[in-house]
Amino acid sequence: MSATINDLAALRDGSKTDQRLSTPARDAFTIVGKGVPVKDAIEKVTGSIKYGVDFAVPHMAHGKILRSPHAHARIVRIDTARAEAIPGVYGVVTHEDAPGGTWENAWFNYRGRIMDGTARFVGDEIAAVAAVSAEIAEHALAAIDIEWEILPAVFDPHEARKPGAPQIRDEGNERDAYVVEWGDIAEGHDLADVLVESDVVFASQQYASIGRNACVAEWMNDRVTLWTSSQTPSELRDGVHEAFEIPLSKVRVMALPSGSSFGSWWSANFMLVTVMLAKKIRRAVKIELSNAECMGTVKRRHIEHTRGRMGAKRDGTLTLAQFDHVIDNGAYGFKDDVGFFCVDMWGRALHGDYQVHAVNTNLVTAGCMRGVGDITLGSAVERTANRVAAELDIDPIEFRLKNQIRPGEPLRMRHSLHNMDCSVEEYLAGIPEELRAEWPELFHLSSGSTAEILTTGAEAFRWSERWQGWGKPDSVDGPLRRAVGVGTGAHVCGVEFEGSSSAVVRINGDGSAKVHASCGRQGQGSETTLSQVAAEELGIPFTMIEIETGDTDSCPWSHGSLASNTLYRIGWAVRAAAKDAKRQLLEIAGREVFHLAPDELQVVEGVIAPVDGSQPGVSVEDVMNMLRLADTLGQTSSITGRPATPMPPSTAFARHFAAHFAEVEVDIETGEIRLTDYLATQDSGTIVNPQVMKNQVIGGAICGAGFALFEELHFGDDGRVLNANMLDYKLLRCADFPHQAGVIFGDSYDPVGPFGARGAGEAPMAASVAAIQAAVFNATGVWVELPMTPERVLTAMGVI
Amino acid sequence: MIIVRVNGREQTFEPAADTSLANMLRDEAGLIGVRVSCAEGECGACTVLLDEQPVTSCLMLAHQAAGREVTTIEGFGSPEHLHPIQQAFIEEQGFQCGFCTPGFIIAAAAFLAENPSPTEAEASIAMSGNICRCGAYPYIVRAVMTAAERLRGATA
């Protein structure tokens, strides 16, 4: 049995409902828990860090993409001769050049072939030109002659579900319904003293990353290298391998840091178009996207529509949660569920039935954006639950303490099961007996909840003083009404059964160490927190640890940075790899220096010494030197560690939780909403770096506030995105958010995650939307549809 | 041909008539710290100082800088000798992805030159010409306040 499983068992000795490690153990951490500056801080403040747009190789060509003017159309004939004849043009690619392979990314963005002669949204990639300059390439696009057959298009997901609707994909428009149900809905209905119906439509949010993207691709014979900003280097490598039908060994992705990606930059078809162009002209090519392309042709959040009901007994016990949720996947999205961890969070409802219907439309592809599902369905559930609580006149915090999940309780989602490659029985049989004994059933919440953070947050926010009751402002000053609201959110910590993320940790000859872990660097600080995990396990100073995250030739496969996966799952792998490297180091030191067993030794601040202090210490560097000088001790002068096992199978899975408290001031004459106070609380287990975590939490709150208040993509009647720019697509600015906003962390400890840590970045988005919407209700007495623009506020109030 | 004083050194450039100042600085001078995101003057990532005034260099023609002085983030501090504002942004972690950071630091420098003793509310409004999509705003305000204190100390 691996050491990790031992840890897991040991940590589960406590009660089911309290997974906290005793404080002294967490206090013993030397670098985990410290708010050290992020590793790339100096590069960022001096402007020297290189993103995809900054990368170049000598003599590269510049590419531009021809995009469809039609939402749905087939190319009858395409003629590139005029474009190819333009001086300075190296070559043109169309669907006729596209390889036969199809690619997908992270199991729900399925593109198909890179180009197949059909355009499925306005902006779809049709052809591309490579030239000596971007200007010439752009000019040549206009010289490509196309004869189109216009096909009927559909933009509304409800319309796209109907028989006879235009079919966008060979697989049909609609994915299989995704269903989570427990108990008996009829009984939940009968038990309810109060029943509330709900019908909520959500706008599409744009990632609106500051920082565009570019891709440079270069072939050397039959091998290709890509340099681009990506959160998912391994997945991108896999996509190129699939589309071009070449061995994985011939694809190298060198992922660069990205701007505020939020899920925008996983793999994108423009990257594969770059690879096509480079292959055709046998020269390196760079395609740099304009901001309009980034905001209008890559991805966006799904348009979603939730209808449902919740019921409760007079004492506040939820008896029923029933929701039917429709999402539009746009042209190439393939997602059949949407996050959905609100279902787990409200899983104490006695009876539940959630159904998700995912449908393709001829709008630009919808993809997972930060907080996917939990910012939409989750906030609809929050709003419905709030209305139930209001009917019963129960305080929202009390209502949540009564109805939200605690550690050890069942996860209602069976999200993971359709990913399993074995039966549930086989899976359970693979879990060691001692782990199964406590929580024998699939699946339970491993640690954390909203309970502690709601309680500590309410106290810090002075909730009981400020809360005046449902629909009641706490101050009225002319047209200005102030009120507070609370909202909660949950999200996953990586997705179960989707392959094992791995890592390599190498101890070098001088006692420094290098971590190789495939993930993104989109500002979430993983290069820093993963290095802290490695430093803590190795006992080597943090300043001696460096990390490579982007090179798929040196980093083992991982999902990358999505689904709040990085610290929890890749972090687990980094710790396991560091353990393996340290074991090898201590075996050598024990045998050659101390004549002790490895478990009688420890490494502290780069010095190896007996735990009992019986002998003076020897530096890691000195031991590594012995390795270098003596042929008999090892194969190389460095030690390479890797996880001895995959992440242990478990019946308990992690979620992360957020509870946010907002105060708003609403001008009921103008409909304008101002955020006047904010407190965010977060339960993510051990906080590896409080500075990084604060930024994740507040950043999530701000992005959620944008979705709550004014972010909305607009589409024309022809399906075109009308506001793919930052003038017409508004983003929150500094003065729009209370700068005194506070952050409080919960104190839970996860039994699986590295040093007790879990994921972090997505639950804050959901909690923010819910809190602000509830505060606006309390200020105005009406529920306002999102985004809560002044016009919608006044409409909801019946003023206009 | 135009002559522009860039980060304290005179340089000659031959920009096309429609080349933006941002693209000239990035492509000709190799100053990649001039970030271009929205390219329409909304996000402020491309902010540089032109004769000590902050401008969005994506919206200016290169020729408009002829005979003038431009300061980019590369002119602020080196890894060994960070500018106090850069140091404060690190300490308060006033950034995440870092794409907007040079623009914010330059906007902060111009603001603090005008108002060396701002309130937090003033700093927050002054930083609203730039966009940080990651949402580091509260920590950007703290960084500006910390930098203001240091800069006042340095000149006292």
How far, in Å, are B36, B45, B57, B134 from residue B41 at the CA level?
Answer: 9, 9, 8, 19
Please state the CATH superfamily assignment of the domain spanning residues A52-151+207-298 in this structure.
Aldehyde oxidase/xanthine dehydrogenase, a/b hammerhead (3.90.1170.50)
Average pLDDT for residues A6-31, to the nearest whole number?
49
The DSSP symbol for A670 reads: T
For A91-127, give the secondary structure using H, E and C.
EEEEHHHCCCCCEEECCCEEEECCCCCEECCCCCEEE
Average pLDDT for residues A397-410, to the nearest whole number?
95
Q: Does A209 touch chain B (CB under 8 A)?
A: yes
Average pLDDT across chain A, whole number = 92
pLDDT at A3: 26
Give the mutation candidate from A36, A43, A46 for the B interface (greatest B CB count, under 10 A).
Answer: A46
pLDDT at A11: 32
Nearest Cα residue in chain B from A48? B33
Share of chain A above pLDDT 70, in %: 93
Tell me what percent of chain B is helix, strand and coil, each rounded to the nearest 5: 45, 15, 40
pLDDT tens sequence across A694-750: 999 999 999 999 999 999 999 999 999 999 999 999 999 999 999 999 999 999 999
pLDDT tens sequence across A205-249: 999 999 999 999 999 999 999 999 999 999 999 999 999 999 999
pLDDT band at A603 (very low <50, low <70, confident <90, very high): very high
Judged against a pLDDT cut of 80, whether residue A415 lies above it is answered with no
The DSSP symbol for A165 reads: P
Judged against a pLDDT cut of 70, whether residue A14 lies above it is answered with no
Q: Does A676 touch chain B (CB under 8 A)?
A: no
* Domain boundaries, given as residue ranges, for chain A: 1-30+446-493+654-800, 52-151+207-298
Chain A, 337-366: which have a CB under 8 Å from a chain B CB? Answer: none
> Which tokens belong to A120?
């499925």
Judged against a pLDDT cut of 60, whether residue A10 lies above it is answered with no
User: Is B84-155 in the same CATH topology as B2-75?
Assistant: no
Q: Flag if A732 and B34 touch (Cβ within 8 Å).
A: no
CATH topology of domain B2-75: Ubiquitin-like (UB roll) (3.10.20)
**Taking the CB of residue A242, how many other CB atoms lie within 10 A of it?**
19
Judged against a pLDDT cut of 90, whether residue A22 lies above it is answered with no
Report d(CA A106, CA B9) in Å as an integer: 49
How far, in Å, are A267, A470, A686, B18 from residue A467 at the CA level?
Answer: 46, 8, 31, 58
Q: Does B102 touch chain A (CB under 8 A)?
A: yes
> Which tokens belong to A73?
């159309």
pLDDT at A636: 62
Q: Does B117 touch chain A (CB under 8 A)?
A: no
Tokens 């300059």 -> residue: A133
Tokens 């002068």 -> residue: A637
Instruction: Give contacts of A732 with chain B, Cβ < 8 Å.
Output: 135, 137
pLDDT at A192: 98
In angstroms, how far is CA A768 from the centroid of its own chain?
Answer: 16
Positive or negative: CA dihedral A528, B133, A461, A315: negative
Report d(CA A250, CA A192) in Å as an integer: 61
Report, at the CATH architecture level, how domain B84-155 is classified. Orthogonal Bundle (1.10)
Report d(CA A383, CA A684) in Å as an integer: 24
Neighbour-count burial of B114, counting CB atoms closer than 10 A to its CB (0-12 exposed, 13-18 middle, 19+ buried)? exposed
Q: What was the ipTM of the complex prediction? A: 0.98
Question: E strands of A166-256, at which residues?
Answer: 178-182, 194-202, 214-220, 223-229, 251-256
Neighbour-count burial of A478, counting CB atoms closer than 10 A to its CB (0-12 exposed, 13-18 middle, 19+ buried)? exposed
How far, in Å, are A17, A407, A432, A572 from residue A12 at the CA level?
Answer: 10, 11, 13, 17
pLDDT tens sequence across A288-310: 999 999 999 999 999 999 999 99
Share of chain B above pLDDT 90, in %: 97
Q: Flag if A48 and B39 touch (Cβ within 8 Å).
A: no
* Domain boundaries, given as residue ranges, for chain B: 2-75, 84-155
Q: Flag if B33 and A48 touch (Cβ within 8 Å).
A: yes
Instruction: Give contacts of B95 with chain A, Cβ < 8 Å.
Output: 44-45, 523
Measured in residues, chain A has a length of 800
Nearest Cα residue in chain A from B36? A211
Instruction: Give contacts of A291 with chain B, Cβ < 8 Å.
Output: 37-40
Please give the interface size between A and B, counted as residue pairs whose CB atoms are below 8 Å apart.
183
pLDDT tens sequence across A581-594: 999 999 999 998 99
Chain A, 179-208: which have a CB under 8 Å from a chain B CB? Answer: 208
pLDDT at A17: 32
pLDDT tens sequence across A446-468: 899 999 999 999 999 999 999 99
Q: Where are the alpha helices (DSSP H) in A162-255?
A: 185-191, 233-244
> Which tokens belong to A542?
């943090």
Average pLDDT for residues A408-423, to the nearest whole number?
73
Instruction: Give contacts of A726 with chain B, Cβ < 8 Å.
Output: 37-38, 40, 42-43, 131
Instruction: Give contacts of B36 with chain A, Cβ < 8 Å.
Output: 53, 212
Report d(CA A358, CA A304) in Å as an integer: 9
pLDDT at A289: 98
Report d(CA A106, CA A128) in Å as an integer: 25
Report d(CA B12, CA A61) in Å as an integer: 26
As assigned by CATH, the class of the A1-30+446-493+654-800 domain is: alpha beta
pLDDT at A109: 67
Q: Closest Cα of chain B to A49: distance in Å?
A: 8
| Contact (CB, 8 A) for A558 and A503 | yes
Give the mutation candidate from A40, A43, A44 for the B interface (greatest B CB count, under 10 A).
Answer: A44
Judged against a pLDDT cut of 70, whether residue A24 lies above it is answered with no
Q: Does A478 touch chain B (CB under 8 A)?
A: no
Q: How far apart are the first and last CA of chain A?
A: 68
A442 phi, psi to nearest 5 deg: -80, 145
Nearest Cα residue in chain A from B101? A45
Judged against a pLDDT cut of 60, whether residue B145 lies above it is answered with yes
Give the dihedral of Cα atoms A40, A42, A48, A52; nearest 10 deg: 20
pLDDT tens sequence across B81-121: 999 999 999 999 999 999 999 999 999 999 999 999 999 99
